[in-house]
Structure 1
Amino acid sequence: MVTLEIKNNIAWVTLNRPEKQNALHLAMFHELDKIIKTLRKNTQIRAVIVSGAGEHFCSGLDVKSIVKKPLAIFQLLFKWLPGNPNLVQRVTLAWKTLPVPVIAVINGHCFGAGLHIAIGADYRIATADAKLAIMESKWGLCPDMGTGVLLPALIPQDKLWLLTSQGTPINADTAKEYGLISDVHTDTKHAVQSLLDTLLTRSPDALAAIKRVNNRAYSANRRQVLWQETWCQIRLLLNKNTRVAMHNALAEQAKPYADRSKW
């Protein structure tokens, strides 16, 4: 469901489940994790392009497929140490460990887990009709895919609050205004090629060094943030108000929330 093709030393990673708007199930997380590890070992590649097959980049997590497998949530969230990245955090943050430029090409829906993965890229180029949203709040959850480490370097705190608390899709122009994407183009293929034409004239070692320095310059206290993401998500998964939120996200008639727990 995730394909890797290397052409002329450019790696093309494609979320390939267009009939489901490239919604992510457990196997796709494992496939992405494996592909990133494979690319990290390849010293010949010069850039990575991440895209979605069909009309959409990714509609987010395939909630129904995850719910059907009780152990799936455990596999997604498990980590050996609190500050280590788990599977869902790796498929976002691990793009930053690749010593080459990573470009996400966003079209159509880019929601939830899909947007988190795109945020892990170094450049985000979107079509004018793209819609972007961080969706966890709709389900009574909090973002937990590692973007708590990355987003503060991209957007102001008030915009971060709006995106993470409301879960409302924004258009590509608004996303660019926020700093969430790099540019908007009607012809993303041309835009990507133009970017590659410049990047490929630079020393691959210089680009690797620049990326390492830039990542360090913008890094927060990563281990603490990753632990807070996972710990809060576990608490929410066990919280009665989360069950109410999930019901309200699907039902026509909303149930009232209970009083807030002590945080």
Structure 2
Amino acid sequence: MERVSLHWVEGVAVVTLNRPDKMNAVDFTMIDAVIAAAERLAAEPGLRAVVLTGAGRAFCAGLDVANFAALAVGDPEALIAPRSHGDANRFQQFSLCWRALPVPVIAALHGVAFGAGLQLAAGADIRIAAPGTRLAVMEMKWGLIPDMGGMVTLPELLCADVLRRMTYTAEELPAEEALRLGLVTELAEDPLARAMALAQAIAGRSPSAIRAAKRLVTAAYTAPAAEVLAMESREQIDLIGKPDQMAVIAANMARRAPTFG
């Protein structure tokens, strides 16, 4: 079975972790499949938004326990140390590839999002969870630390003391608590339906403005203030009066949905 499935709904790519018999536990094959899906989507000019979800009863239960044995008997340094994707290794790229994608990514969470699954979700722009979903930085349960990009993305979502507590204890949080803490964006009885509705709303906006907005928001969390301010100006200059903006203005004046080239 393919570890990841991909289908399209009017400019929205739905990427599904497809190992339901294992609660979408992450093995090396799935890591490579997720990265390949993101790389394929990055080259799609018609892409407007992405929804990440999991088949079956969970979003993702974390790293497949069988992989721990492979790591323990092999050479961890040979697997982990090489920087295969810019600043990141293969495992980190599993989650960071979604941050690098030029369009918004929405994760629809249900069941559990543990360990690698939580780090994958943290790489998305928005997280929508079903009530009762359980989330955890689970690595300490196995005597490990989170190393799949989570220490880049999670500090943007959580206060330092909360992230420390979750990392040190491997405690599980219900989605309701995760919402209060900022780890989850919103709750929905049907998170996939809500994620699709939100993605389709985004897909109806100016594609160039949406991509500019993602670049700008990403920089806002990582770059010095002077760079962010200059970037605001550059991005705006590149939008004003261009075809996408003119299509929005014409549509607003005519009180209809815009049509983009």
1:32 has 2:34 as partner: yes
CA gap of 1:114–1:78, structure 2 versus 1, over 3 A, is same
1:191-229 residue CA offsets vs partner (Å, 9 max, x unmatched): 2233134212211111111111111111279xxxxxxxx
- Partner amino acid for 2:100? T
Q: Counterparts of 1:13-52 in structure 2 under 5 Å?
A: 13-52=15-54
- Partner amino acid for 1:86? N
Q: CA RMSD in A?
A: 2.1
Q: Which residue of 1 aligns with 2:178?
A: 175
Unaligned runs of 5+ in 1: 222-263
Q: Which residue of 2 aligns with 1:201?
A: 204
Aligned partner of 2:150 among 147, 151, 159: 147
TM-score, scaled relative to structure 1:
0.78
Distance (Å, rounded) in 2 between the aligned partners of 1:144 and 1:64: 17
Q: Which residue of 2 aligns with 1:95?
A: 98
Aligned partner of 1:125 among 128, 150, 157: 128
Unaligned runs of 5+ in 2: 225-261
Distance (Å, rounded) in 2 between the aligned partners of 1:16 and 1:76: 24
Distance (Å, rounded) in 1 between the aligned partners of 2:7 and 2:200: 19
Aligned partner of 2:137 among 131, 134, 137: 134
Contact 1:13 1:48 in 2 (8 A): yes
CA gap of 1:129–1:59, structure 2 versus 1, over 3 A, is same
1:3 has 2:5 as partner: yes
Shift, 1:68, TM fit: 4.0
Contact 1:185 1:191 in 2 (8 A): yes
Tell me how many residue pairs correspond in the alignment: 221
CA gap of 1:91–1:5, structure 2 versus 1, over 3 A, is same
Contact 2:51 2:196 in 1 (8 A): no
1:94-136 residue CA offsets vs partner (Å, 9 max, x unmatched): 1111111101000001100011000000010000020000111
1:178-197 residue CA offsets vs partner (Å, 9 max, x unmatched): 10010011122432233134
Rg (Cα) greater in structure: 2
Shift, 1:4, TM fit: 1.5
CA gap of 1:29–1:76, structure 2 versus 1, over 3 A, is farther
Shift, 1:71, TM fit: 4.8
| Secondary structure in structure 1 of the residue aligned to 2:13 | strand
1:160 has 2:163 as partner: yes
- Partner amino acid for 2:143? G
| Secondary structure in structure 2 of the residue aligned to 1:84 | coil
- Partner amino acid for 2:21? E
CA gap of 1:66–1:166, structure 2 versus 1, over 3 A, is closer
- Partner amino acid for 1:205? S
Shift, 1:15, TM fit: 0.7
Distance (Å, rounded) in 2 between the aligned partners of 1:83 and 1:204: 26
Q: Counterparts of 1:48-67 in structure 2 under 5 Å?
A: 48-67=50-69
Distance (Å, rounded) in 2 between the aligned partners of 1:141 and 1:153: 22
